[in-house]
Amino acid sequence: MICPHCKKEIKLERGEKQKLGMIKRASKGNHVSRVPFGYKWDYENKKIIPAQNYQEVEEIFNEFLQEDMKLTALAKKRTFSVNGLKKILKNFAYVGKVKFDGQIHNGNHKPIISSILFNKVQDKLERLKRKKNY
């Protein structure tokens, strides 16, 4: 790799090369991590697509928005760990985005839920976090 400032060649470690490759993939809208719940890998088109159970994702988001629904209760009902459920509820892939290395990019995959639903869930998660009331 060539340094854009001094124009000298920089030798990258294997992990650094891998991370740069992942950043490049994410910036092009390609998913770079494990396939999220509700999606599956389309080997032909090299992208994620909604799986048969994709409607469960919207159900989970809507259930969580019920006034008396807590993370622990929903996790138990859906047989997820609380952390696993939080990963689903915070995953930008469901709104057609790719988040990697602190950056959010438009994805090249189909969203499963609306941005409005996603944002309402993020608001509730933030309120619960402030209250420490999971």
As a three-state string, the secondary structure of 105-120 is EECCCCCCCCHHHHHH
Q: Which residues contact 41 (CB under 8 A, 6 or more apart)?
A: 35, 47, 48, 49
Percent of the chain exceeding pLDDT 90 equals: 72
113 part of a folded domain: yes
Residue 3 lies in a domain: no
Residue 101, in any domain of the structure? yes
Max intra-chain CA distance, the chain: 59
Do 87 and 101 contact (CB within 8 A), yes or no? no
Structure tokens at 41: 């890998």
> Could you list the residue range(s) of the whole structural domain that residue 78 is in?
14-131
pLDDT by residue (tens digit) across 84-99?
999 999 999 999 999 9
Q: Is residue 78 part of a domain?
A: yes
Element (H, E) at 30: none
Which domain CATH number covers 51?
Answer: 3.90.1750.20
90, part of any domain: yes
Query: Within a domain: residue 7?
Result: no
pLDDT in tens, 51-95: 999 999 999 999 999 999 999 999 999 999 999 999 999 999 999
Q: Is the pLDDT of residue 2 over 80?
A: no
Rounded Cα distance between 79 and 50, Å, is 21
Tally the domains of the chain: 1
| pTM exceeds cut of 0.75 | yes
- Domain presence at residue 4: no
**What is the pLDDT at residue 133?**
55
Tell me whether residue 1 is in a domain. no
